A = this chain, B = another copy of it.
Amino acid sequence: MRDKPPNLTRIPSETLKNFAAECLQSMKLEKEDAIVIADSLIQADLWGHPSHGIMRLFWYGARIASGATQISKEPEWELDAGGLAVLNGQDGIGQSVAKKAMHSAIDRAKQHGISAVCVRNSGHFGTAMYYTKMAADAGCIGFISSNASPSMAPWGGVEKLVGNNPWSWSAPAGSFPCFMLDIANSAVARGKLYHARATDKPISEGWALDKDGYGTINPADGIAGQILPIAGHKGYAISMAMDVLSGILSASQFGSSITGPYQKEGISGVGHLVIVIDIAKCRPIDEFNADMESLIKSIKSSKTAPTQSEIFYPGELEARNHERISQAGIELSEDVRAQLQIGAEQLGIKTPFI
């Protein structure tokens, strides 16, 4: 029997989380802030969304290093009026600001039944359902939206003015892992266009426009042009609505005034809206959970299409990935390992992998 070579590409999630937190603390972040960034990144990897995982560590790091993300100011309550509140993130760490807003919204909902927290001057917070799951775990329905740096044209236009402005709703689901919806309003991640170009394949209709504003299935033309919203004009309209809720209602930045997490410099300007409803105030939570189980069972036990072996409800695949990847460790590509190595070296920190 041959010895297997040591598999250095799969790292236990706790090891990676500690590594990420150590890097961030060495950048002078408070321990609590370091842990929330680290945890939210690792959670994305565990859910099977590596695009929002640890590969982003030093993207956030670069903005902290440049001072674009402020680490020395505390978020401040500008309005604290029972069910409704406004939180000024003071250009701080999006993950910490959003977590504080969600925790507060949950407390407010437990007291008033329904709550909203408008967040201004926040930063890119990563995966939206990381926050709404907190509400679901507390027996509530949770909503969060954020605006984002412009990545798409308005429907019928060619200038990048509209962000993919993510939004999420989550709810408990009885004995099932919780129901989690997490939507970005672009038809496709930009990375898929790069991948298609690299593998010399056409892209799907409805993914991209070329630089002149014509639909294209050529990935290179799409890269030179821009990504389309989900569901055509509907996705454009949804993205605009999320900008109104997140940026304008909170008196934060909006439209083309947002700086994205890929830029080292420049204040982010993003805003969020958090809404939480305490389910037990509306109806007994056991009955709610029983209905959720019944809905999920009816869908999962229905006949599958010939191309599918199983039907999933929103959030189920993430829960399954979480279980599998928690056991197996997080797989990092050579590329990501190299990026993390460079970032860690600059901080004098050893990576937990070679």
Contacts and interface: CB of A to CB of B under 8 A. Distances in A.
A84, A86, A250, A298 — which one has the most chain B CB atoms within 10 A of its CB?
A84
Interface stretch (A1-9, A41-49, A240-248, A323-331): A240-248
A230 B158 CA distance: 23
Interface string A61-86: 00000000000000000010111101
A169 B241 contact: yes
A354 to B, nearest CB: 38
A156 interface: yes
Contact of A306 (B187, B212, B312): B212
Contacts of A114: 83-84, 114-116, 275
Given A155-B311, A213-B305, A250-B282, 16 more contacts: A79-B281, A81-B281, A82-B83, A86-B282, A86-B283, A141-B249, A156-B307, A158-B305, A161-B298, A169-B245, A205-B205, A213-B306, A230-B231, A248-B291, A254-B295, A255-B295
Nearest to A170: B241
A113 interface: yes
A183 B295 contact: no
A303 B154 CA distance: 10
Contacts of A93: none
Nearest to A251: B283
A157 interface: yes
Contacts of A248: 171, 288, 291-292, 295
Contacts of A275: 114, 275
Interface in A132-180: 141, 153-159, 161-162, 169, 171, 179
Interface in A300-326: 302-308, 310-314
Contacts of A302: 153-154, 157-159, 161
18 contacts: A82-B83, A82-B112, A83-B112, A114-B114, A114-B116, A118-B282, A141-B245, A154-B302, A157-B308, A158-B302, A159-B303, A171-B241, A230-B230, A231-B234, A240-B299, A244-B292, A248-B288, A255-B295
Q: What is the count of identical protomers in the complex?
A: 2
Interface in A198-213: 205-206, 209, 212-213
A113 B179 CA distance: 28
A113, A114, A116, A249 — which one has the most chain B CB atoms within 10 A of its CB?
A114
A105 to B, nearest CB: 10
B154 A311 contact: yes
Given A84-B277, A283-B251, A299-B154, A244 B118 contact: no
A256 interface: yes
A113 B81 contact: yes
Interface in A238-272: 238, 240-241, 243-245, 247-251, 254-256
A144 to B, nearest CB: 13
A235 interface: yes
Contacts of A230: 230-231, 234
Interface in A93-151: 112-116, 118, 141
Contacts of A231: 187, 230-231, 234-235
A26 to B, nearest CB: 38
B240 A157 contact: no
Given A249-B288, A292-B248, A181 B237 contact: yes
